């Protein structure tokens, strides 16, 4: 059975996560370009742990300009089997107040300026995203939330907008009418790429504000978001440490096939595949390409 390697992608609160052992930063090169930053390699109670700052240390990269393909590819090369996204977001529901965590299970992708697949001309593949998060991973995150007494909701739809500007009120009301629960700028195409890379994926959406739809709450601004994020970061640190403590050391098969997503996804015949693209897919799709 495959050994578990827990990956976290998120903000600055994990640079100095309490309780990690043997921390060191490593540059992991990717044929898809430059990842957002080096990767922090460490262990938590013997579990291999990897952390990548999504926006780079110092928050240098806007959501639109994140090289999502390089990030996911680098994490795959670092051995990550399970990836948890820790993401600040706005709330589209009264019951999800600032400070609440939503363990997302669905996404609506409204981004338009990002590379969204490792595949394309030279090798076509279609993975299923009916269930974009991995249930065993979400269950483990929920168990950690309960153990740390963190206010949370399991299940919810995350509307991913392009940004970097926040929503107009008309947009915010539209997304509410669609039944969305939270809104943010980062989890797509990240979730799609994790599925293509056969990495189990889950999102912890940390509510910082009510977006701009709420009549009785001041509209979102950076200062207010940062104030809430400070408290959210402390809770997220406890969540991640507890998750690492309870996480299975041997990686179980994913019940929805996240870790075997490419078994029936690649359409292009072996003789028609572009060798240059194949070389770039060595980490993402190496498991299935080795069988071709």
Q: How many CA atoms lie within 13 A of 192 on its CB side?
A: 18
Reduced to 3 states, what is the DSSP secondary structure of residue 151?
A: coil
Could you say which of 73, 105, 109, 211 is catalytic? 211
CA–CA separation, 56 and 49 (whole Å): 18
| 140 is an annotated ligand-binding site residue | no
**DSSP per residue over 155-223, as a string?**
--EEEE---SSPPPHHHHHHHHHTT--EEESSSTTHHHHHHHTT-EEEEEEEEEE-TTT-SSSPPP-HH
| 175 is an annotated ligand-binding site residue | no
Whole-number Cα distances in Å, 250 to 46, 47, 81, 243, 264: 12, 10, 10, 14, 25
| Angle separating helix axes 222-246 and 135-147, nearest 10 degrees | 100
| 29 is an annotated ligand-binding site residue | no
CA–CA separation, 146 and 135 (whole Å): 16
Whole-number Cα distances in Å, 112 to 37, 72, 155: 24, 19, 25
| 203 is an annotated ligand-binding site residue | no
| 201 is an annotated ligand-binding site residue | no
Active site annotation includes 209: yes
106-109 and 101-104: which strand pairing?
unpaired
| 206 is an annotated ligand-binding site residue | no
| 211 is an annotated ligand-binding site residue | yes
| DSSP at 30 | B
C-alpha dihedral (198, 67, 172, 88), degrees to nearest 10:
80
Could you say which of 209, 221, 263, 274 is catalytic? 209
In sequence order, the 6+-apart residues with CB closer than 8 A to the CB of 202 are 82, 83, 84, 85, 103, 104, 133, 134, 137, 138, 141
Active site annotation includes 82: no
| 229 is an annotated ligand-binding site residue | no
CA–CA separation, 96 and 143 (whole Å): 19
Binding residues: 12, 54-55, 87-88, 185-186, 209-211
Catalytic residue IDs? 209, 211
User: Residues marked as binding for substrate?
Assistant: 185, 209-211
Which positions make up the binding site for phosphate?
12, 54-55, 87-88, 186
């Amino acid at each position: 059975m495959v050994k578990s390697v827990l990956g976290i992608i998120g903000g600055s609160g994990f640079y100095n996560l309490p309780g990690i052992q043997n921390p060191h930063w490593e540059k992991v090169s990717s044929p898809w370009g430059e990842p957002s930053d080096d990767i922090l390699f460490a262990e938590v109670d013997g579990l291999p742990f990897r952390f990548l700052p999504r926006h780079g240390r110092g928050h240098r990269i806007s959501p639109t300009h994140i090289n999502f393909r390089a990030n996911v590819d680098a994490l795959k090369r670092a051995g990550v089997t399970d990836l948890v996204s820790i993401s600040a977001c706005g709330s589209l529901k009264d019951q999800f107040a600032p400070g609440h965590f939503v363990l997302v299970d669905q996404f609506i992708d409204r981004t338009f300026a990002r590379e969204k697949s490792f595949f394309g001309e030279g090798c076509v593949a279609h993975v299923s995203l009916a269930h974009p998060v991995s249930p065993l991973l979400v269950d483990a995150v929920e168990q950690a939330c309960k153990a740390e007494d963190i206010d949370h909701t399991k299940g919810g739809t995350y509307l991913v907008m392009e940004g970097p500007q926040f929503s107009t009120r008309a947009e915010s009301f539209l997304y509410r009418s669609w039944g969305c629960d939270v809104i943010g700028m980062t989890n797509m195409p990240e979730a799609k790429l994790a599925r293509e890379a056969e990495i189990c994926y889950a999102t912890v959406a940390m509510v910082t504000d009510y977006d701009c739809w709420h009549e009785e709450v001041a509209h979102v601004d950076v200062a207010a978001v940062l104030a809430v994020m400070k408290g959210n970061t402390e809770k997220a640190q406890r969540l991640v440490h507890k998750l690492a403590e309870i996480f299975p050391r041997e990686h179980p098969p994913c019940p929805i096939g996240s870790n075997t997503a490419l078994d029936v996804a690649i359409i292009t015949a072996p003789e028609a595949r572009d060798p240059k693209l194949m070389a770039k897919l060595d980490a993402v799709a190496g498991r299935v390409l080795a069988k071709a």
